[in-house]
């Protein structure tokens, strides 16, 4: 299984790239984490937010690998604790399908992305900056894998 993090936004600060890369590097081959950056839509002085979400959503959905399980990251989605995420990861690994995690731009995900998703996942009830989401997501996936594999990283 490969985990595809499909995220709107390019040219992240060095700390984001370093943090994401650190945790992605730690994941084993059987659940490799791959980042796919999606170019954000053009924004003008009076942006048409629906058009922006639609354009970014089309780009996100075009990047979803065939037969992948699609999960939308949404503040209103289901929150999982670490053990619940580990259980989900165990199930995804057993299923064998690739996983596509969708992270929208500053204006959120399109309706088409939310409809395509099999699940909506919330990392936090807080609104997190999109660059930080990449780092938190990578760390939480690594933490869940450490529980699944019996690695001592997670000590709660």
pLDDT tens profile 82-129: 999 999 999 999 999 999 999 999 999 999 999 999 999 999 998 889
pLDDT at 152: 86
Provide the H-helix boundaries in the chain.
Answer: 14-26, 49-62, 82-95, 111-116, 130-149
Interatomic CA distance for residues 76 and 121, integer angstroms: 8
For the entire predicted model, the pTM comes to 0.94
pLDDT at 3: 98
pLDDT at 156: 64
pLDDT at 154: 76
146 is in an annotated binding site: no
Task: Say if residues 124 and 79 touch (Cβ distance below 8 Å).
Answer: yes
Q: Which domains does the chain have, with CATH numbers?
A: 1-147 (3.40.1280.10)
Q: Which of 3-12, 39-48, 87-96 has the lowest mean pLDDT?
A: 39-48
106 is in an annotated binding site: no
Asked if the model's pLDDT at residue 46 lies above 90, the reply is no
Q: Which of 71-75, 98-102, 148-152 has the lowest mean pLDDT?
A: 148-152
pLDDT at 155: 72
Q: Closest Cα to residue 142, out of 153, 131, 150, 132?
A: 153
Which tokens sit at 1? 């299984």
What integer best gives the mean pLDDT of the chain? 95
pLDDT at 127: 86
- Work out the average pLDDT over 58-72: 98
Q: How many residues does the structure list for the chain? A: 156
Asked if the model's pLDDT at residue 8 lies above 90, the reply is yes
- Work out the average pLDDT over 28-39: 96
93 is in an annotated binding site: no
124 is in an annotated binding site: yes
Asked if the model's pLDDT at residue 151 lies above 90, the reply is no
104 is in an annotated binding site: yes
- Work out the average pLDDT over 4-15: 96
């Amino acid at each position: 299984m490969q985990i595809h993090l499909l995220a709107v936004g390019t040219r992240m600060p060095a700390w984001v790239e370093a943090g994401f890369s650190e945790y992605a590097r730690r994941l084993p081959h059987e659940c490799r984490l791959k980042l796919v950056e999606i170019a954000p839509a053009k924004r003008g002085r009076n942006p048409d937010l629906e058009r922006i979400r639609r354009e970014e959503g089309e780009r996100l959905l075009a990047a979803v690998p065939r037969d992948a399980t699609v999960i939308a990251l949404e503040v209103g989605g289901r929150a999982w604790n670490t053990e619940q995420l580990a259980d989900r990861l165990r199930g995804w690994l057993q299923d064998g399908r690739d996983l596509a995690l969708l992270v929208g731009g500053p204006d959120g995900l399109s309706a088409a992305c939310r409809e395509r998703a099999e699940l909506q996942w919330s990392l936090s009830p807080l609104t997190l900056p999109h660059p930080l989401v990449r780092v938190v997501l990578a760390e939480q996936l690594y933490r869940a894998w450490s529980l699944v594999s019996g690695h001592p990283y997670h000590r709660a």
